[in-house]
Amino acid sequence: MFEMQPLPYDMDALDPYMPQTTMEFHYGKHYKNYVDTLNKLIKDTGFEDMGLEEIIQAAYQKPEHQAVFNNAGQVYNHQLFWKSMAPDGGKEPKGRLAEQIKKDFGSYEKLKEELKNAAVTQFGSGWAWLVWHDGKLSVMKTANGDTPVARGMKPLINIDVWEHAYYLDYQNRRADFVEKWLDHLVNWPALEE
């Protein structure tokens, strides 16, 4: 059975860009619901003894397992999202990561622009991603509970653009949320390590 991963910081640590009230709903209600629902769905099934990534890949594009895929994807996506943020985030990457960004995007500003565009143009609920695939970094977006893990890619950072991630604070201003997230919360040191 899966358990909620603890946050890597205090519930109020991302203020003012993601206030405690938002985190209480997002982590304590939405994420909890995905974990609880996934556990109910996989109980006494062939998924019960699988890891999260295995479940995602086994259920991918199988209509009879869509609910399992959606909830497993959302558990995985949120667990990465918590790690994708830090209270002192937003600082420009350094070292090998900075070199790889320059190689694959031309500049850090270009990467930020591509991430913001992916997040803002994702129609409806979903995610913007920085992934490692085929020996390079790239940006992509997915809808709902979909995740690059299903396609064998390695997700590195993700931005949650479901309304529950930002609506209490930013209402319909997704672009403002994404900009603040990239400027103040994104946790590049987690990747550098």
CA–centroid distance for 158 within its chain: 4
| Residue 46, burial from CB neighbour count under 10 angstroms (0-12, 13-18, 19+) | exposed
DSSP structure class, residue 48? T
What does the longest C-alpha to C-alpha distance in the chain come to?
49
Quick one: which of 120, 117, 170, 163 has its CA closest to 144?
163
Contact 56, 149 (CB under 8 A): yes
Q: Give the global pTM.
A: 0.95
pLDDT tens track, the chain, 193 positions: 999 999 999 999 999 999 999 999 999 999 999 999 999 999 999 999 999 999 999 999 999 999 999 999 999 999 999 999 999 999 999 999 999 999 999 999 999 999 999 999 999 999 999 999 999 999 999 999 999 999 999 999 999 999 988 888 888 889 999 999 999 999 999 887 6
Give me the helix-helix angle, 32-42 and 66-83, nearest 10°: 140
